[in-house]
Structure 1
Amino acid sequence: MPESNNPPPSRSLPLALKITAVALVATAVVFYKLDPFDPASLPAEELSLAVEAVEKCNGRMLQGAERVGVAELKAPEDFAYDSDLGLVYTGDSDGWLKRVRLNDSAVEKWAFTGGRPLGVALGPDGSVLVADADKGLLKVTKEGVVETLTTEAGGLKFQLTDGVDVADDGTVYFTDASSKYRLHNFIFDMLEGRPLGRLLRYDPTTKTTELLVGDLYFANGVAVAPSQDFVIFCETPLRRCRKYYIAGDRKGSIEKFVDNLPGTPDNIKYDGHGHFWIGLPTEMTSFWYLALKYPVIRKIMAITRRHGWRPNLERNGGAVAVNLEGKQVAWYYDYELSMITTGLKIKNHLYCGSFVFPGILRLNLDRYPARTAGCPWSNSGDL
C-alpha cells in the first residue's frame, strides 16, 4: 500500500482534555471553599415531596384565562378587594399602589409609596394597609395620603416587609420575610435555609409593634380568620401555613392550618365565602426538594446565581383554595405558569397576580371550573 502523507493522529489530545478537566474541577473546588456563603440544614422532619390530595383541579388554566391591565400593571403582587367600590388595590413594581375597576378593567395610579409595595389589605376605615418591602408597614388613607406606621420591632429593622392583613378592630398583622436579605436578593434567604422571618402585630391605638412569632422560614402571606380568633401565616420553603391564636383559650399558641401544599405558598387571601386562596409561585420540584435537603446544592446555586446563571426551575404555578378547616379543595394551575403570588376569588372569577409578570390573570370559574377528572389525586372536596 502507498504510504500516507497525513501526519499520525495526535495522542496528546486526550491528556490535554484530562488536564483541562482537572483544572476546571480544581478551580470550582477553590471557588466553593473560598465562597463565604454558608447554608444551614433545614429541619428534616419538615421537608417532604408529599402533596396532600386535592380532589378538584384545573391543570390547564391558561387555556381559559385572560390577562387584564398588561400595559399598566408591571408586576401586581397582591390584591385587596373593595366590594363597595368595585375596586381591586394592588402594589406594583414601579412603586405605585394602583386601583383596578372590575367593571371595565381600567387601571389608575393612586398612591406612590416610593418603594416596592407587596402585601395589601383593606382597613375597616376604608384605608389600605401596605407591606412595602423597602419602606416598612404603610397606611394609605382614603384620600391617597401615604403614612409610615412602623419600620422595626424590638430594635431590629424590617428588611423585607411582605404580607399583611387587618382585623376588624383595626389591628394590623404582617410579616417581615427576612431580617437579613432585601427584596432584590430574597432568594438567598431560602438558599441560606435559616429561620430569619417574623410575624408581627401593629396596634394603631398605642402605635406599637409587637413580635408574635420569630424564627420563621421566609414568612410570607397573612390572613385574619373571619372568626377573628386566629391569624394564618405562611412559610414559603416549607410549603405550609400555620395558625397563631389572637383570642380565646388558646391565645398565643400555634398550630397547623395546612401543609404539604402542591406548591410554595406566597400570599393567602380570604374570599368572604368560606375559603382561603393561596398563591403558589411554583410546585415543589424534585430539584428544589433536593436543594432544600442538601446545603451543598444550595451553596452551588448561590455561587452560580451571583455569577449570572439562573436556570428556570419554576413550573405549575397557580392558586389553591382551602376551606376554613385547612382542607385543600381546588387547585388551579398550569405547567407553563410560574411566579403566581396571589390568588383571589371575586364573584365567579379567579384573579391571580405575579411578582414578576405583567397584568392580572383572570379566569371565569363557571366556564373553566376545577374538576375531579384529570386531577393527580383524589380526596373529598366541596368547591
Structure 2
Amino acid sequence: MFPQNNQSHSVSRTTRASSWPFYTIVFSLLAPVLASILVFHLDSFDPAPFPNHELTHHLPEPSMKNGRLLQGSEFLGVGLLQGPEDIAYDSKSGVIYTTCADGWIKRVTVNDSVSDAVVENWVNTGGRPLGVVLGRNSDVIVADAYKGLLKISENGEVEMLTDEAEGIKFKITDGVDIADDGTIYFTDASHKYNLHDFMWDILEGKPHGRLLSYDPATKETKILVSDLYFANGLAISPDQECLIYCETAMRRCKRYYIRGNRRGQTEKFVDMPGIPDNIHYDGDGHFWIASATEITLFWKMAFRYPVIRKVAGIILKHIGELETNKNGGVFVVDLKGKLISQYHDPRLMLITSGVKIGTHLYCGSIIYPHIIRLNLAKYPAVHVTK
C-alpha cells in the first residue's frame, strides 16, 4: 500500500508542476489582451463616423502620372529649411518665401543651380507659420498656427490682423490667399485642437474647422463656412468668382462662391485619391493640390470605422507616432475640378505644398529639411496605360 501512495503523490506533484508552465503561458497571452480591452473601454476618446456618403463612390484617377518624383529631383536649401510647409514666389525679385517649423519665414533665391541658392532668415513669428501669400503692398500675409493671421511689412514688421472669430480663438490658422479687392481668405483647421495635437482632430472625426475672411479696410473677421473637417489649403480662382478649399479629413476640395449670384454657396469641386493640403493656382488654368499621403489601407479602414481610429488614438497616446503615410506628392486639377496629372513617389510623405514656377515644381513639407525641386520639362507626367 505504501509504495502505491508514494507513487500517487509523486504523480500528483508532477501533474501540478507540469501545469504551471501552461498557466503561465495562458496568463502571459491573456493579460495583454485583457489590459487592452480594459484600456479601450475606459479611454474617453470617442471618434465619430465620417459622412463618407457625401464622397464620390469611385474616386477619380488622373490620366497622367510621374510616380517617381524623387528621380531627377533637386533639393533646395538643404539643412537650412526646417519643415518648409508652404511656398510663395515673388517673380519680381526671384525670391521664394517659405514657412518653417522653427518659426522662421525664410527667403530663398531661385537660381538655375540649387547649389547657388541663398537662404536668408527673414522674420521669425515666434509661432509656427503655415500658409503664406504675397500681399498687395510689398507685404507678406501669413497664417500662423499659433499666432493667427499676420501681416509682415517689407521691413519685417509683424502685425497680428486677427486671431479669433465670433469670440472663438483660432487653434490652427492654416491656409491663406488674397482676392483682387484686398479681402484675405483663410482657414482655421480646428478651433478645438492646436497644431501639436492635429492628429487628434483627424482621428476624432468631428468638424471643428472654419473658412473665414478678413477685410483690411474694416478689420472685420467673418466666418463663411463652419463645421468643416480640418479645413486646410485654399486658393482663389482666376476669375475671382470663387475659391477652392480643402477638407483634409474628408479627402476632398470644395468650391465657395465669393462673388456673383451664387455668392455664399458651396459645392463639390473634387474628391481626392489622396489626403489634400495646400492649394496653389499656377496662372495657367490649373490648381496644384498637395497630397500628404495616398489613402493607405490604414486610412481606408480608419475613415470607415471609428473603432479603428479609437485604437489608433490609444496607440498614439500610450506608444507613439503611427507610421501610416506614403506616396505623397501633388495633384494637378483643372478649373472644372477634373484631375489631370499626379506627381508622387512611394518614398515621399507629408508633402504640404506644390508650386509651379516656370518649368519647375517646388514642393514643401512639414518634415524634410529642404524644398524639393523637379524640372517638369525633363521629368513630365506621362499617360498611364490601363
- Using structure 2 for the length normalisation, give the TM-score: 0.92
The size of the alignment, in residue pairs, is 368
Q: Contact conserved, 2:50 with 2:250, CA < 8 A, in 1?
A: no
Task: Specify which of 172, 179, 184 is matched with residue 160 of structure 1.
Answer: 172
Q: Secondary structure at the match of 2:383?
A: coil
Task: Specify which of 41, 46, 49 is matched with residue 54 of structure 2.
Answer: 46
* Aligned twin of 2:352: 341
* Aligned twin of 2:191: 179
Distance 2:306 2:268 in 1: 26
* Aligned twin of 1:309: 320
* Aligned twin of 1:238: 250
Q: Deviation digits for residues 98-135 of structure 1, max 9, x if unmatched?
A: 11110242111111111000000111222111000000
The answer as to 2:25 corresponding to 1:17 is yes
The answer as to 2:280 corresponding to 1:269 is yes
What is the letter of the counterpart of residue 256 of structure 2? Y
1:308 shift after superposition: 3.0
* Aligned twin of 1:322: 333
What is the letter of the counterpart of residue 74 of structure 1? Q
1:227 shift after superposition: 0.5
Name the larger-Rg structure: 2
Q: Which runs of 5+ in 2 are unaligned?
A: 1-13
* Aligned twin of 1:371: 382
* Aligned twin of 1:188: 200
* Aligned twin of 2:270: 258
Q: Deviation digits for residues 8-29 of structure 1, max 9, x if unmatched?
A: 9944323322222222222111
* Aligned twin of 1:3: none
- Using structure 1 for the length normalisation, give the TM-score: 0.93
The answer as to 2:137 corresponding to 1:129 is no
- CA RMSD in angstroms comes to 1.5
The answer as to 2:295 corresponding to 1:287 is no
Q: Contact conserved, 1:49 with 1:286, CA < 8 A, in 2?
A: no
* Aligned twin of 1:353: 364
1:48 shift after superposition: 6.6
Q: Deviation digits for residues 326-350 of structure 1, max 9, x if unmatched?
A: 1111100000110100011110000
Q: Secondary structure at the match of 1:64?
A: coil
Task: Specify which of 288, 309, 328 is matched with residue 298 of structure 1.
Answer: 309
What is the letter of the counterpart of residue 268 of structure 2? K
Q: Deviation digits for residues 249-301 of structure 1, max 9, x if unmatched?
A: 10110011111x12100000011111110110100112111111111111111
What is the letter of the counterpart of residue 306 of structure 1? K
What is the letter of the counterpart of residue 359 of structure 2? N
Task: Specify which of 96, 102, 106 is matched with residue 98 of structure 1.
Answer: 106
Distance 1:291 1:10 in 2: 44
Distance 1:191 1:252 in 2: 29
The answer as to 2:73 corresponding to 1:73 is no
Distance 1:166 1:125 in 2: 12
Q: Please say which of residues 60-69 and 196-205 is displaced more in the overlay.
A: 60-69
The structure with more helix, counted as a fraction of residues: 2
Distance 1:60 1:347 in 2: 20
* Aligned twin of 1:380: none
Q: Contact conserved, 2:134 with 2:141, CA < 8 A, in 1?
A: yes
Q: Which runs of 5+ in 1 are unaligned?
A: 1-6, 378-383
Pair 178,138 (structure 1): closer, same or farther in 2 beyond 3 Å = same
Between the aligned residues of both structures, percent identity stands at 54
Q: Contact conserved, 1:77 with 1:353, CA < 8 A, in 2?
A: yes
Task: Specify which of 214, 220, 225 is matched with residue 226 of structure 2.
Answer: 214
1:144 shift after superposition: 1.3
What is the letter of the counterpart of residue 258 of structure 1? V
Q: How does 1:131-146 map to 2 (within 5 A)?
A: 131-146=143-158
Q: Please say which of residues 265-274 and 44-53 is displaced more in the overlay.
A: 44-53
Pair 205,190 (structure 1): closer, same or farther in 2 beyond 3 Å = same
Task: Specify which of 53, 62, 68 is matched with residue 70 of structure 2.
Answer: 62
Q: Please say which of residues 23-32 and 210-219 is displaced more in the overlay.
A: 23-32
The answer as to 2:210 corresponding to 1:202 is no
1:49 shift after superposition: 7.6
Q: Secondary structure at the match of 1:33?
A: helix
1:47 shift after superposition: 5.4
Q: Contact conserved, 1:48 with 1:289, CA < 8 A, in 2?
A: no
What is the letter of the counterpart of residue 262 of structure 1? P
1:306 shift after superposition: 1.1
1:309 shift after superposition: 2.8
